[in-house]
Each structure stands twice: as C-alpha cells, then as structure tokens.
C-alpha cells in the first residue's frame, strides 16, 4: 500500500465527518433548486432526507470497505426503506412503515416520476408521488459524492455529483430559479475552501509519510505534490465551468431559459374543449337531414360514441379525464391500442362529412385506429385515447373528407337477469358540484322501496321515460329550453309536465343515480333508427344522449331515460272564463310632469354609433399594424441596425475630406469585409502584411495590387484626382464582390450581420490611444 493510500485508509472519523458536513452544504444547495417547481417544504424533507441517507451509506461503505455491489444494494435498501416516510407518507403505516402501495409507487416512480413531474403544472405541492424525484436525485448524488470524497485521493471528483444535482434541479424545474447567484457564490466559496483544506491535509500526510520513509522518497513525494496541485487546479477549473454553466443559465431571463418541461408534451387538457353536449340542439336543428359521417361494419345494435361525460359542475356535463378510476386519462396512442376487455371483435370504417371538432366517433373499445386520406399522418400524430371511457380525441380536429378504419371490441350487453342483485361497482368518479336539490327529491321519490342497485336505476329510468315528454323546442313544437345547467334541470324536475329531450333527461337521470352513490356517466353519440350491419349514414336526427352505470363484475350498462319521440306534451286545460263585471269609471289621474333627462341621456345628445364603430375599427387596424411592426422590429431590428451602421461607415469613408483618407479607407473596407467573412486579420498590420494574408484566401481578387496602389497614393508626391478615386472605389467594390462571392449564401448573411469588423476598429483605436498616452508621459 502506498503512503497516500495508507493515510487515506486511516483518516480519523472526525475528519471524514467534516467532509460529509461540507457535502451536506453543497448538495443542500442543489436540493434548494427544486423549490420553485414543488413549493411548500415537502421537497426539502424528501431531498435532505435522501441526502443524509446517501451520505450515511457512503460513510458506512468507506469505513467497512464495501464493494460496488454492496454499496448499490445498500442504496436500494435505503431507497425502499425510507422512501415511503420521506416521499410517500400517505401510503405508509403511521407515516413511517412502508406498505405494498409504498413499494409499488417507489418502484414505478424510478422510471415514471421524472416525466410526470414535467407534465404537471407547477407548483406540484400535494402530489406525493412526485417527491420521489428530489428524494432519489439527492440520494444518488449523496452516495456518489460521499464515496468519491472518502475513498479517492482527488476529492475534486466529489464535485461532479454536486454539479449534476444542480443541473437536475434546474432542468426539471421551471423558468424561475431560486437565488441562483447566491447559491452559485456559496457553492464556489465552500468548494474552493474545502479543496484547499483537503490539499493541505494531503501535503501534511505526505510529509509525515516521507519523514518516516527512506530519503529516496523525496523525489516521489515532490511528484505527488505536483500532481495534487495540478489536480486541484483542474478541479477548480471544472468547478468554475460547472458553476458558470449552471448559474449562467439560471440568471438568464426566465423567458429565454429552456427547461425540460418545455420539450415534454403534457397530458391532454380537455378544459380547452367545450362539452359536446352543449351542441346537442344544434345537431337536431341544423343537421337534421345532413350527413355527419358514414360508418360501415357497425354491428347490429351497436352505438357510436362521440364523448363520455363524467363531471357535472352545475353549468355543463363535461369530460374530466382527471385520472380517477372511472374517468381515466387521455394518452397519445399509436395505430395499435392495448385492450384486455372481452367481447365481439369488429372492424368499422368511418368517413367524415359535415361532422367537425376534436371528438372522434368510435364504438366499443378500440384496439387499433388507422387514419387514411390526405391528412392521415397529421391526424395520427394528434390522436389521444382514454381506455377507461372509450373516447378518442384528435387535437387537430376532424374535417370533411377525413376517414379511418378501427378495430373494436363490442362488449356483451348483460340482461337484467344477469345483473340480478349485483351491487354498483366500487369505482371512483369525478365529484359533481352545484347539483339542484330537486334532483335528490326526485331520486328518492322514484326509487321508493327498491333496494337493489338495478331496481333503483330502472325505477329512475322508468319514471323519466314514462312521465316525461319530448320536445326539442323547434318551430311547431312545445317550448323547451336547451341546456342542462342546474337551473334547467331543476325546472325540468319541478314542472307539472317534464318537457325536454335527450340532453335534459340523460343529465337528470345521471344526477339522480349519482345521488345514490353509484358510478354513472352520460354518453353523447349516435345510433340509427333502424338496425343494420351495412353502410349507415348518420345525420343530425340520429344524435342521442344516454346514461351508463357501472355494475360490479359487468362493467358499464346503458340506460335510456328519454321518453318515446311520439310522447308529446299534453295541452294545458284552459281556465274557466270569469263572469263579466260592470265597469266603474275611475277618477282621472293628475297629469304627470315630464321627467327632465340628464344631458347624457337626451336623444339629441346620444353618441353617433357609426362614428363609434369607425373609431373602434381604426383602433383595431392600428393595433394590428402596430403589433406586426413591433414583431418585425424584434425579429429583424438588430439586422437592420447593423446594416445601417455599415452603410453609414462606408459613406463616411467615401466622403472623407482628404483624398489620401479616401484611399486608406478603401483598404479598410476590404479588410473589414474579410474580417466579417471570418478571415483572420491582425489589428494594426501594414497594408503589405495584410495583403499577403488576404492573398492566401482570395488569390484572384487582386488584393496585393490594390494595397500597392494605396501605398503609392498615400506616400506619393501628389494627391489622386476625383476621377482616380472613383475608379479606385470601383475596384474596391469589385474586390469586395469577389470576396463575398467566394462563399455561400449563409456565410454572406453571417458576414452582413457580423460585428467583428467594428470590434477590430475599436481595438485599434484603443491601442492607438494607449500608445499616445505613453508617448506623452
């Protein structure tokens, strides 16, 4: 064993603990970087807890001389043993002991929690599973940093995991960074002080080893000392680069900073799309006889699903997709979709006509969906599917001419005998809100003494189906308001006669069933009047809404609460005519004095609506033009400014007062052009020196000849004439054109936007000024 290695092996525990204390500070600064994305203090508990556990494993491994596999095994044990208490307390017993759910969440979190963190809107406080990210990142960084610091002769390697934790906390964070400058300064100061202390300790240890060794070890000790100094210098350089990269990105403007969540596609946000049930009357009124789409291969009795609605907020029944067991989530899918449901296999083909929007009609459960036609690739790229609700969405939106083929599984429809006394499924559903009290009253009255789930649901369905009347509120029909908000449903259930259509009856039944605590949802879709297995043309008259209730072991079962179409409202019984009474003359009323209107309300003082509209139009046009101009200046403003500066510089050179200045300025124009093209030029070089350098890049341009001509004119006995200067600048323009023509289009564009020639000019003036100052002193 070498002297240095021997010294490391017997470093006292107190010294090792001091190393770990420094790493607590350095790694803790990295954990703080998760603050903006998490919020609260939960991430600190998880991150600092993982940090302490990781450093403890590193210390045990160094003291006990564990091998790599042992350290890895200890890290896994620490992750699963303490991960529940620190990152997933809600899944543990008494907040400490891990359970099966804890182990499952920790195992899947190693892979999936990273992307989930990127797809959840910040701050993510309250999502316990996401705390796996700071806990795991800090744990791994601490194990590596502690092991490197306690086992390696060059502690600089311990800074690599520290910087990695910084990068992870920023990359998985938001555009806002917590105290980037302060954290960067503290990191740099503490790391440099620690490295210097470790170097001094290594020197002392080496000196002791040399003193007790042979005299011949002096040269070796000097080599080791030099190597340590080089290692320290390299470490400081790596640290400076790392801190510069990390803090440089962190302190840049938030709008310019790029983080990983900018590149990860988040889950589909259905709040951007209105509930399709809102447009129910539009289909009935405007598309009654118009073809929405054509479907082939539809099994007998199957229904075409447009959307499954599972959340009611008092205004609309909408698609939640919130991740609950009954609502599921919408995920990007390919042409093949995994589906384990049993049933009858079928293949349907759909050709879109007048139907538009993001909702993709399907039936049953999809196992594959392949678009055809001109937009097939774009539609496939935008396809999302919810396996829990059977709803497909294309964020691109359907339009006439789109078509697709789908492989589906049609589930077996259970009979009432098969359902029997089964209970409703224990399925979590999105919570409803602003449900009118009339729903609860109607639900309790409808079920009466029924006790089984099926009997209660059938009782509610039968009450609405048999006592209600159908009206779409169209011309010639009984008045019936559209909509299914809280007030509309309350008025439906409390009226003497129930009047509405599928929109109102389906929502009313779903809310009544939900009152009983059963999982229920509303489905909007289509089914033809006459069953057929051939090609079916779907029109607006085929639109329907129905209710689905989940039963234990059987899945979702459909119910139709809407009364028959021929069940129209009864005419109201006219009131008996009252007996006429003798008219009695009333005394004349006193004349009412006209009310004086304030000037702002007098008819003659009303503003001219035409001038107001004209002013609004002018403001709109001004806003559009101003916005376009601002965008143009932001994009092309720098290029325009650079072009103006270069044109101004050229004009001043041509119009110089002295003829010899116009000659030397022509040479400067050539040198600046070469500089902007990327040719290395020496600031302050003579024209002869510069021409030799340029001749190597542009041998056919005639640069040397022009340089000699300039020297002859500048140092000659007479000044050149105006004609000679015009010819000279024509030659300059020819050489410049030759130089720029020798490169490609993008290189010419870069040269036009380059500021290198201005920089060289500033450097030359600064050097000249400095030399003059020295000569005067």
Per-residue pLDDT at 689: 83
Query: How does pLDDT run across 732-741, given as a tens digit for each residue?
Result: 999 889 888 8
Higher pLDDT, 266 or 513: 513
Asked if pLDDT for residue 307 goes beyond 60, the answer is: yes
pLDDT tens-digit readout, 401-451:
999 999 999 999 999 999 999 999 999 999 999 999 999 999 999 999 999
pLDDT (tens digit per residue) in 19-67: 899 999 999 999 998 888 887 788 899 999 999 999 999 999 988 888 8
- Residue 120 tokens read as 């959840």
pLDDT of residue 595: 42
Instruction: Supply the pLDDT for residue 240.
Output: 52
- pLDDT surpasses 70 at 219: no
Where is pLDDT greater, at 337 or 352?
Answer: 352
Q: Using CA atoms, how far apart are residues 492 and 424, in angstroms rounded to an integer?
A: 27
Residue-wise pLDDT for 682-713, tens only, equals: 777 788 888 888 888 888 888 888 888 888 88
Q: Taking residues 360-375, what's their average pLDDT?
A: 92
Whether the bond between 460 and the residue before it is cis, its omega within 30 degrees of 0, is: no
Residue bearing the bigger pLDDT, 743 or 593: 743
**Residue-level pLDDT at 153:** 73
189 token code pair = 């100061």
| Exposure letters 554-589 (e unless 16+ CB within 10 A, then b) | bbbbebbbbbeeeeebeeeeeeeeeeeeeeeeeeee
CA distances for 103 relative to 69, 76, 685, angstroms: 21, 12, 72
Residue 51 dihedral angles phi and psi, to the nearest 5°: -65, -45
- Is the confidence at residue 661, as pLDDT, over 60? yes
Confidence bin at 509 (pLDDT 50/70/90): very high
pLDDT the model gives residue 91: 84
- Enumerate domains of the chain plus CATH numbers: 3-261 (no CATH), 270-415 (no CATH), 418-531+544-559 (3.10.620.30), 635-776 (no CATH)
Tokens of 197: 């202390």
The reply to whether omega before 645 is within 30° of 0 (cis) is: no
**How confident is the model at residue 622, as a pLDDT?**
60
Q: What is the pLDDT of residue 309?
A: 95
pLDDT(634) > 70:
no
pLDDT of 438-486, one tens digit each? 999 999 999 999 999 999 999 999 999 999 999 999 988 899 999 999 9
pLDDT at 217: 46
- Please tell me which residue, 68 or 412, carries the higher pLDDT value: 412
């Amino acid at each position: 064993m070498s002297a240095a290695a021997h010294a490391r092996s017997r470093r006292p525990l107190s010294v090792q603990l001091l190393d770990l204390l420094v790493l607590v500070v350095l790694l803790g600064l990295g954990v703080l970087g998760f603050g903006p994305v998490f919020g609260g203090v939960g991430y600190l508990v998880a991150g600092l807890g993982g940090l302490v556990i990781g450093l403890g494993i590193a210390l045990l491994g160094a003291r006990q001389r564990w091998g790599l596999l042992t350290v890895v095994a200890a890290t896994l044990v620490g992750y699963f043993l303490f991960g529940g208490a620190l990152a997933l307390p809600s899944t543990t017993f008494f907040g400490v002991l891990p359970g099966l759910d804890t182990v499952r969440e920790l195992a899947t979190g190693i892979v999936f929690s990273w992307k989930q963190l990127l797809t959840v809107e910040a701050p993510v406080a309250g999502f316990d599973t996401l705390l796996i990210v700071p806990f795991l990142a800090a744990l791994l960084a601490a194990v590596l940093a502690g092991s490197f610091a306690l086992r390696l002769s060059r502690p600089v390697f311990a800074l690599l995991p520290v910087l990695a934790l910084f990068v992870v906390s920023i990359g998985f964070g938001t555009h806002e960074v917590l105290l980037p400058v302060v954290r960067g300064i503290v990191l740099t100061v503490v790391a440099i002080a620690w490295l210097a202390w470790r170097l001094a300790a290594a020197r002392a240890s080496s000196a002791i080893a040399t003193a007790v060794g042979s005299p011949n070890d002096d040269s070796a000790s000097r080599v080791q000392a030099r190597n340590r100094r080089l290692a320290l210098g390299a470490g400081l350089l790596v640290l400076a680069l790392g801190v510069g990269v990390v803090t440089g990105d962190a302190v840049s403007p938030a709008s310019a900073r790029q983080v990983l969540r900018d590149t990860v596609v988040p889950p589909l946000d259905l709040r951007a799309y209105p509930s399709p049930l809102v447009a129910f009357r539009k289909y009935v009124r405007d598309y009654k006889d118009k073809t929405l789409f054509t479907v082939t291969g539809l099994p007998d009795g199957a229904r075409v699903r447009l959307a499954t609605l599972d959340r009611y907020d008092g205004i609309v029944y909408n698609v939640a997709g919130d991740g609950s067991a009954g609502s599921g989530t919408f995920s990007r899918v390919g042409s093949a979709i995994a589906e384990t449901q049993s049933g009858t296999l079928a293949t349907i083909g759909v050709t879109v006509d007048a139907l538009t929007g993001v909702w993709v009609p399907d039936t049953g459960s999809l196992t594959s969906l392949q678009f055809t036609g001109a937009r097939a690739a774009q539609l496939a790229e935008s396809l999302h599917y919810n396996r829990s609700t059977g709803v497909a969405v294309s964020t691109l939106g359907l339009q006439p001419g789109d078509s697709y083929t789908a492989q589906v599984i049609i589930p077996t429809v259970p009979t009432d005998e098969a359902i029997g006394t089964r209970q409703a499924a224990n399925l979590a559903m999105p919570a409803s809100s602003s449900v009118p009290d009339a729903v609860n009253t109607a639900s309790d009255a409808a079920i009466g003494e029924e006790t089984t789930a099926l009997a209660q649901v059938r009782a509610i369905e039968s009450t609405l189906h048999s006592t209600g009347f159908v009206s779409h509120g169209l011309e010639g029909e009984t008045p019936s308001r559209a909509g299914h908000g809280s007030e509309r449903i309350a008025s439906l259930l409390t009226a003497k006669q129930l009047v509405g259509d599928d929109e109102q009856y389906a929502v009313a039944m779903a809310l009544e069933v939900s009152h009983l605590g059963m999982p229920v949802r509303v489905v909007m879709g289509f089914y033809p009047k006459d069953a057929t297995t051939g090609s079916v043309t779907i029109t607006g008259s085929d639109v329907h809404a129905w209710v689905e209730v989940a039963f234990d072991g059987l899945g979702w079962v459909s119910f139709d609460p809407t009364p028959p179409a021929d069940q129209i409202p009864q005419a109201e019984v006219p009131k008996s005519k009252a007996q006429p009474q003798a008219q009695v003359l009333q005394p004349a009323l006193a004349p009412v004095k006209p009310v004086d209107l304030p000037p702002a309300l007098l008819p003659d003082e009303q503003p001219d609506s035409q001038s107001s509209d004209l002013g609004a139009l002018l403001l709109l046009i001004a806003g559009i033009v101003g916005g376009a101009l601002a965008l143009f200046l932001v994009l092309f403003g720098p290029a325009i400014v650079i072009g103006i500066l270069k044109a101004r510089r050229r004009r001043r050179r041509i119009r110089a007062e002295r003829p010899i200045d116009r000659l030397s300025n022509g040479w400067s124009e050539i040198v600046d052009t070469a500089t902007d093209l990327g040719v290395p030029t020496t600031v302050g070089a003579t024209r002869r020196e510069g021409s030799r350098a340029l001749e190597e890049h542009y041998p056919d341009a005639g640069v040397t000849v022009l340089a000699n001509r300039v020297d002859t004119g500048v140092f000659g006995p007479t000044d050149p004439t105006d004609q000679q200067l015009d010819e000279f600048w024509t030659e300059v323009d020819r050489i410049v054109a030759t130089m720029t023509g020798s490169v490609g289009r993008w290189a010419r564009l870069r040269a036009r936007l380059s500021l290198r020639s201005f920089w060289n000019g500033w450097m030359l003036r600064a050097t000249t000024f400095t030399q003059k100052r020295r000569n005067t002193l």
